[in-house]
Structure 1
Amino acid sequence: MKAPISWLREYVEIALHPEELSDKLTMSGTEVSGLEATGGWENIVVGEVVAIAPHPNADRLTLATVDLGGERLTSVCGAPNVDIGQKVPFAHSGAQLIDPESGELVRLKKEKIRGIASAGMICSERELGISDRHEGIMVLPPDAPSGTPLNEYLGDTTLDLYITPNRPDLLSIIGIAREVAALTGKAINIPDTRYAEAGESIGGKASVEIRDPDLCPRYCATLITDAKVGPSPPWLEQRLLACGMRPINNIVDVTNYVMLEHGQPLHAFDFEKISEKRIIVRRARNESIITLDGMVRDLSSDMLVIADGQRPVAIAGVMGGAGSEVTEATTAVLIESANFNPASIRRTSIKFKLGSEASLRFEKGLSAELPLQALRRATQMMAELSGGKIARGIIDVYPGKREVKPISLTTKQVARILGIKIAREKVAKVLGSLGFQCERVSPGELSVAVPYWRTDVRLAEDLVEEIARIIGYDDLPTTLPSGALPRYKPDPMRALIEKVSNILVGCGMQEVITYSLTSLAMLRKVTPQPAALKVANPITTEQECLRTTLRPGLLQTLSANEKHENNSIRLFEVGKVYLPREGDLPEERHMLSGVLCGTRLDQSWHGDSERLDFFDAKGVLETLMERLGVAPRFEPSEDKTFSPGSRATIVVGGESVGTLGELHPRVAERCDISSRPVYLFEIDLERLLPATMAPLKYRPIPKFPITLRDIAVVVNEEIPSKRVQDIIEGSPLVSRVTLFDFYTGKQVPEGKKSLAFRVLYQSPSRTLTDEEVNRAQQEIVSRLSRELGATLRQ
């Protein structure tokens, strides 16, 4: 939001330097992100054109005599709009101006143009850096004093403010002026909106019907006839330009001006183009409309439109239709000022990608009391600038007016929250400066009526926040905590998350944090049947639902890293997922997910590094589980996100806690990932937590030596190696088993594979003899043959 200080001064006295004002606003919670100075002109003054003569040597040039407040100079001018009596910016020799063609700064020099000396130059807005218009000279208001330096007359500072979503009232000059008034102790002056009505009654000329009050709580309209559409006066154009808006004509410019002033969007219709002179606010009927940008927009039934007796004439709160546009031929103008449902406007503007100053304000949630105030102001200004007549009365359809209950506030509440005592009188004064009406209930209690523009204030705590920020957070005295300190309550999940993060970082992985919001399209890419909770009012279609898995964010991060040629990636995230529950809030579960791809080691002079494989990812999880004191098992998985043969279910204590696998090539392609292979794991920390909290059992250091044996068996290809390993580990004398070789090829029959294990035999009570080890080894071979049909590899 841009707010010129000169405009703010029309509503509140400002004696502070712009930097001081900026600091005060920022420290009170209204962040000023920048200051933009307009001006800096030297050797440029206000002048009045007193005479015009044709150039003797050029048909398209004129000689303009300019009065500079006692001194008269002649300028050779090529602008078509120069005229006697105009107040203009006149640049002397030495002034710095912008070259309209190159955009570079140039210094003006005295020179002859077609044989006639030009003592200076009458400037366009483009040459002064005010706007891009340079088809003619800039014309100043008639009351501009001749001889005044232009920097003094037009120079200004514009505040560039960042407005938080909860403060739509600050998307207006008057709203910011209210803040300034409260912070500086000055009075706020709201412009008078009274006007004379000279036409017929509006009730006999037009009608308004709201068919869906939930989407349009209020609709107000006035009518101006005998209007003359033309350019806006310079002062109005300059204000719009300073706020980043392009002037169009006096009718449209007034709607934009009042929107900036009051924060309420308005729209002007050519009344003669409204069929049956009826306005109907309704849902669209799968129809279409040509909007002001010339595009044909197909409308769906979830969109709100402004229609006449035959067709839509505007997309409510987003953009008007070309069929009812105000043009130079317009003489009758119907002015709309309405309140629309924020979620409806956001959905429509996102679908059409038509974000505008109007939709931005509606999306924030405006007060239904605001349209009438803004409409009166717009009607007053439009009639004045167009010379039109205002029809008697105002159409105001307000079917669901709501009464706002006052908030009870006690000085004890203020003291409890802020830690200091503030007198009731001071509380009332501070709140009163912001427009709150305070009524004494008892010596320590106030009944506070919230002004209509403060839609964000609902609780006593909100009022206390207002008191604190206006007094000044820096001015609140420091106080130590009082009362008994609460007992420490351990949080096992928090401790687990911290431990998991530290372990994975130690494994060479990097932690990332991604958005909890994602799109249904992205969820469908990584999960077979996503049942996600949709957001009623999404910011974008990419953030339309709550995630049910951490996979989308991680894979999008991986894809983004690939585009920056960072191809060796080890990322993990710990975060919440949100699982829908019918008739209740979603279930929030803590999850861990990780992704690995690229080479095992960074490139070096030792040679090319091998690419990561399934066992690297599995090794990370085994390290994690070991450090957590958990013994996992990896069992076959049917998760179709992963490639067959390279996927596993992680089981702890007989319960599945997660999955691990190589990302299926089709899934990787859908996620715009070119690296192959990619390994991903996801673990439900809620299920893992109980296993990590089990009491630790002491196991003494072995006193007796180990005996090593290798065993190589041939089994069917579909039998997982884990199943073979479990049988070997089932022997009471086996302390550890490691798979060290895997082979398929000519040396084994078709459909078979060879698995070689290193087996460590050890007894906690004695040294094992070779006979005992051989007997245990033979029992293992017999069991493998009996249960799996395994044979020893020859």
Structure 2
Amino acid sequence: MIFSGNWLNEFIDISEDNKLLHKQFTMLGIEVNSITSIYYMFSNIIVGEIFHICCLSNKDSLYLVKVFVGNDIFLNIISKKFSFVIGMKVAIATVKSVLPNSLYIKKRVFKNIISDGIMCSYHILGIEYNNFNIVVLPNYVEAGKDILNYFDFKDKIIDISINYNRSDCQSILGLARELSVLSFRNIKKFDISTKININNNDHLPITIEDSFLSPIYLGRIIKDININNIIPIWMSERLRRSNIVLVNSIVDIINYVSLEFGLFVNVFDLDFIDGGINIRLNKLGEKIILINNSNFILNDTNILIVEDNNKIIEIAGLTNSKYCVLDKKTKNLFLECAFFSSNIINNFIINHKIKTNFIRFNSNNTDFSFYLKVIDRVTYFILNICGGRAGSVIDVSNLKFLPKRHCIKLSYKKINLFIGHKINHSFIIKTLKFIGCTLDINDIILNVFPPYWRLDLLTEEDLIEEIIRFYGYDKIPDIPIVGSDIPSKVFSSNLSVDRIKTLLVDKGYHEVITYSFVDNNLQTLLYPKINGLSILNPFSLEKSVMRLSLFAGLLTVLQHNINRQQSDISIFEFGVCFSPKLTTNSIVKERLLLSGLLSGTKYNEYWDMLSVSVDFYDLKGIIESILSLFYNFNLINFKAQEYSFLHPGQSASIYCKNIYIGCIGVIHPLIAKYLVFDKPVILFELIWDKMLPASAFNFNEISVFPVNRRDISLLVDDNIYIMDIINICKKVIGELLVNIYLFDVYYGNSIPKGYKSVSIAIFLQSFIKTLEDYEISEIINKCLFDLQNMFNIKLRS
């Protein structure tokens, strides 16, 4: 919103200091884009009245214009064609004038005719750059006078941004109200209820099919106007400084009053209205002929229209028909100032993405007491500028259908608790009264009725926000938050999910979200011994049961991609699964699971390297990375275990702190065949509630003592799992173990048949001292002793 500071100053005194004014708007929560003081850089620009016009050159569109500048002096001005007429008053620069950038006017000669000056545009005078329209002045100005006598350049242009829910501030009056509350100053008294001389007895019948459609509807007929008269300079300058383009005197007056008071008055050419006016909801298929002669078909229902006896003349407050456009020949007007049903209007706005002045001024907050005053104000300006004869106001309003003011109970105790700072009760009451609220006051609770123009005040919190805003955020002291530094379990859970998702995405995985209901055939193949929960009214056979796990959805996503020649897939999902629960009154057991899938090749094929398929250990490494975010590496174990949906011998259960938390493995060959997968598919599943750490943060002490590495090579039976060997070593070494891993497996002539040689690296470190060699040897020997007793494993020489 852009407007003149002098205009606002008519309602309430504002600071001449731009920085202070900027601060005041900011304290009100209004974003200030700029405050620019106006200045002029010209002198001796005078008013000239066009006396005679003749053409000098059709080719160059040059005209000789004789201009009267007072004292019986006439000047010859050679000018290009524009919409000038005899009697028009314009701004003239002569040889005595000084233009911006210290430019001077020189006399020019064309076809032996001397041009004594130029007609000035707003751009030439530096008033508004890139506005090349000639400065046209109203008839009341005196020829020969300096135009500075009529232009108020001691002004500032204020550019602000208004929040969407504060349309009551999109007017000069609304902004004055805000500033008045800030300083507890009353708005200056102004009388807009100017007495109108009624000298026109014409009446237009108006009917409303249902009063809730338009609780307020005022109309007025004005006849015999002269629309070609020019509005006063002070009015045109305020509109121009508000970035509003001047159209004609009637439209300019309406725009002025709308911006001043936040209410829009619509205007029709009375000569195009047949009979009377009726306001109703549309019928499907009706049409309105728009200003550009195009037909707009009303294909929706519940559209509010205004019609005469033969045609639709308006989509209520939004779109006029071509029959209601004002032109230079317009003589008779019908003014409309109405409050239409906001719900119906807003639905049409949303569906058709329409923006008009009506939306800006009428779609939200409205001061219902101003409708009569505003239509009188528009009438007053029209009669004084354009002449004419005004009729009485035609009022068909039914105020009982207006939106009701609701009571908000405001507790003093809650205000202090909400703010964390005690505000004096008298300040609270005074602020609410200045806002315009009606109060029912007692010692504990205030019953607050917000004003009609503040329909954004709906809750107790809204009122508290207003009190803080006018009290001043800067006056509320900074008080340190007192509370526990330990994050809640909910916070820890959310943070853990985010960390895991970030890790998986960083490693090239994509998160997917699948339906909670899946194909019964596929789920039965995955879990043949468990019956899923059937849906009574599935929208398809492929989505007929609730999922027992996330695998069915992930496999369906993989199949969808493979069918589109995308076989290298790495995806994960975090979601709720459902299974029958027969032991309690509840029939459904919900589990929160994190599952993932890996398929295709690990590397793309290059000229010096063949493509490599993904395998079990690629996904196992991902699981270890996830769990290592929250747990010490030594607490994570994998144990061989068979599942109905995983490949026998290529599957494992996952334990943390000896608690089962999930599984991992290659998809079962029968399922791969059913889904027509020709490349390895590896799955994992983690039970969230069991793997969730007590804290989202894992703190590890760092030892200052050296790490010791010992490598052992063992002769092991082929049927013994390496993880079993590692788990025994972990158990023996305990807290001294930093890391342990397999780094070599060997088969050869020196190795007996049915055996293998495995080499394991063991890293040990103490937090209290440097480990001696004999201490390390004792630990390694203990590991070898337990391995020999458990699996008959021997140390290779």
TM-score normalized by the length of structure 2:
0.61
Question: What one-letter code is carried by the residue in structure 1 that aligns with 2:136?
Answer: M
Match of 2:405 in 1: 404
After superposition, the C-alpha distances for 1:253-274 in whole angstroms (9 at most, x for unaligned) are 3332232222223322233433
Residue 345 of structure 1, CA deviation: 3.3
Q: In the alignment, which of 215, 221, 226 is matched to residue 224 of structure 1?
A: 221
Which has the higher Rg, Structure 1 or Structure 2? 2
Residues 169-248 of structure 1 aligned to structure 2 (within 5 Å) = 169-189=168-188, 190-196=190-196, 198=198, 205-211=204-210, 213=212, 216-228=213-225, 230-231=227-228, 232-233=230-231, 234-248=233-247
After superposition, the C-alpha distances for 1:237-266 in whole angstroms (9 at most, x for unaligned) are 433333233222233333322322222233
C-alpha distance 501-337 of structure 1, shift in aligned 2 (>3 A)? same
Pair 1:110 & 2:109 matched: no
**Structure 1 portions without partners, runs of 5+:** 98-104, 515-527, 531-550, 552-568, 577-588, 638-649, 660-680, 711-727, 739-757, 774-794
Task: Report the Cα distance in structure 2 between the residues aligned to 1:571 and 1:163, rounded to whole angstroms.
Answer: 45
Q: Distance in 1 between matches of 2:614 and 2:406?
A: 64
| Residues 48-57 or 223-232, more deviating | 48-57
The structure-2 alpha-carbon separation of the partners of 1:27 and 1:611, relative to structure 1 and needing over 3 Å to count, comes to: farther
CA distance in 1, matches of 2:27, 2:41: 35
The yes-or-no answer on 1:29 pairing with 2:29 is yes
1:253-264 to 2 correspondences below 5 Å: 253-264=252-263
Instruction: Tell me the amino acid that sits aligned with residue 209 of structure 1.
Output: I
Q: Distance in 2 between matches of 1:591 and 1:178?
A: 56
User: Which stretch of structure 1 is more off in the superposition, 51-60 or 130-139?
Assistant: 51-60
Assess if the C-alpha contact under 8 Å between 1:303 and 1:344 holds in 2: yes
Matches within 5 A, 1:767-782: 767=788
State the alpha-carbon separation in 2 of the partners of residues 393 and 450 from structure 1: 29
Q: Is the 8 A contact 1:64 1:77 kept in 2?
A: no
Output the CA distance in 2 between the equivalents of 1:275 and 1:24.
52
Tell me if structure 1 keeps the 8 A contact 2:573–2:595: yes
What is the aligned partner in structure 1 of residue 779 from structure 2? none
Q: In 2, Cα distance between the equivalents of 1:591 and 1:155? A: 70
Q: Conserved in 2, the CA contact under 8 Å of 1:41 and 1:95? A: no
- What is the deviation of 1:56? 11
> Equivalent residue of 2:254, what SS?
helix
Letter of the structure 1 residue corresponding to residue 6 of structure 2: S
In structure 2, the CA distance between the partners of 1:609 and 1:224, relative to structure 1 (3 Å rule), is farther
- Map of 2:392 onto structure 1: 391
- Show the counterpart of 2:498: 501
Q: Is the 8 A contact 1:182 1:470 kept in 2?
A: yes
Question: In structure 1, what is the equivalent of residue 321 of structure 2?
Answer: 321
Distance in 2 separating the partners of 1:424 and 1:34: 36
* Residue 472, structure 1, aligned to residue 480, structure 2: no
Matching residue of 1:86? 89
- The one-letter amino acid paired with 1:254 is I
Q: Deviations over 1:46-99 (max 9, x none)?
A: 5222685678977721243536x99998755555526568363647678557xx
Determine if contact 1:270/1:332 at 8 Å carries over to the other structure: yes
Per-residue CA distance 1:83-136 (angstroms, 9 max, x = gap): 568363647678557xxxxxxx99554241325555543312354453866464
Does the 8 Å CA contact 1:197/1:389 hold for their aligned counterparts?
A: yes
- Tell me whether 1:251 sits opposite 2:260 in the alignment: no
Deviation at 1:192, TM superposition (A): 1.3
Task: Indicate conservation of the 8 Å contact 2:152/2:234, yes or no.
Answer: no
> Does residue 81 of structure 2 align to residue 60 of structure 1?
no
Q: In structure 2, do the counterparts of structure 1 residues 225 and 132 end up closer, same or farther at CA, with 3 Å as the change threshold?
A: farther
Q: What is aligned with 2:430?
A: 429
Deviations, residues 383-410 of structure 1 (Å, cap 9, x unaligned): 4444231234423244523442455556
- Contact 1:74–1:120 (CA<8 Å) still a contact in 2? yes
Cα distance between partner residues in 2 of 1:412 and 1:464:
11
* Local SS of the residue matching 1:463: helix
**C-alpha distance in 1 between matches for 2:34 and 2:158:** 6
Alignment map for 1:631-642 (pairs within 5 Å): none
- Does structure 1 conserve the Cα–Cα contact (< 8 Å) formed by 2:365 and 2:452? no
Q: What is the CA–CA distance in structure 1 between the aligned matches of 2:290 and 2:333, rounded to whole Å?
A: 18
Q: Is the 8 A contact 2:713 2:758 kept in 1?
A: no
3-state SS in 2 of match to 1:265: coil
CA distance in 2, matches of 1:489, 1:343: 48
Within-5 A mapping of 1:547-566: none
Classify 1:43/1:493 alpha carbon distance in 2 versus 1 (closer, same or farther; 3 Å): same
Structure 2 Cα separation of the partners of residues 370 and 571 of structure 1: 62
Over 3 Å counting, the alpha-carbon distance change for 1:172 and 1:33 in structure 2 is: same
- Contact 2:258/2:264 (8 A) holds in 1: yes
1:529–1:477 Cα change, 3 Å = same
User: Residue in 1 aligned with 2:787?
Assistant: 766
Amino acid at match of 2:241: A
Measured in 1, the distance between the counterparts of 2:291 and 2:193 equals 29
Give the letter aligned to residue 113 of structure 1: V
Kindly provide the amino acid, as one letter, of the partner of residue 349 in structure 1. Answer: I
* Counterpart residue number, 1:780: none
Check conservation: 2:383, 2:389, Cα contact below 8 A: yes
* Separation of aligned partners in 2, 1:737 and 1:346: 67
Distance 1:66 1:371, change over 3 A: same
Contact 2:503 2:626 in 1 (8 A): no
Quote how far apart the aligned CAs of 1:416 are.
Answer: 3.9
Aligned residues: 617
Q: Secondary structure of 1:452's match? A: coil
16-25 or 502-511: bigger deviation: 502-511
Q: Counterpart of 1:280 in 2: which secondary structure?
A: strand
Pair 162,772 (structure 1): closer, same or farther in 2 beyond 3 Å: same
Structure 2 vs 1, CA of residues 422 and 501 (structure 1 numbering), >3 Å: closer, same or farther? closer
Q: CA deviation at 1:453?
A: 0.9
Asked whether the equivalents of residues 27 and 469 of structure 1 are also in contact (C-alpha less than 8 Å), the reply is yes
Q: Is the 8 A contact 1:270 1:333 kept in 2?
A: yes
Shift of 1:41: 3.2
1:265 aligns with 2:264: yes
SS at structure 2 position matched to 1:306 = strand
Partner of 1:675: none
Determine the C-alpha separation between the residues in 1 that align with 2:21 and 2:610: 60
1:381 aligns with 2:381: yes
State the match for 1:6 in structure 2: 6
C-alpha distance in 1, partners of 2:451/2:192? 19
Indicate if the aligned counterparts of 1:193 and 1:380 stay in contact, CA closer than 8 A. no
- Match of 2:284? 285
The code of the aligned residue for 2:787 comes to R
Shift of 1:277: 0.7
Match of 1:337 in 2: 337
- Name the CA distance, whole Å, in 2 between partners of 1:571 and 1:240: 59
- Aligned partners of 1:49 and 1:84 also within 8 Å: no
1:123 counterpart residue number: 120
Which residue type is aligned with residue 29 of structure 1?
A: G
CA distance in 1, matches of 2:105, 2:322: 47
CA distance in 1, matches of 2:102, 2:594: 61
Q: Which amino acid aligns with 1:22?
A: H
With over 3 angstroms needed to count, the CA separation of the structure-2 counterparts of 1:634 and 1:184, relative to structure 1, is: farther
C-alpha offsets along residues 431-467 of structure 1, whole Å, 9 cap, x if unaligned?
Answer: 333333456x446765544222111223444333333
Following the alignment from structure 1 to structure 2, what is the Cα–Cα distance between the partners of residues 621 and 655?
13
Q: Secondary structure at the match of 2:41?
A: coil
SS of 1:335's partner is: strand
Q: Is the 8 A contact 2:227 2:330 kept in 1?
A: no
**Identity of counterpart residues, as a percentage?**
19
Give the drift of 1:159. Answer: 1.7
Contact preservation (8 Å) 2:302, 2:344: yes
Separation (CA, whole Å) in 2 of partners of 1:266 and 1:682: 68
Give the direction of change, closer, same or farther, for the CA distance of 1:186–1:77 in structure 2 (3 Å limit): farther
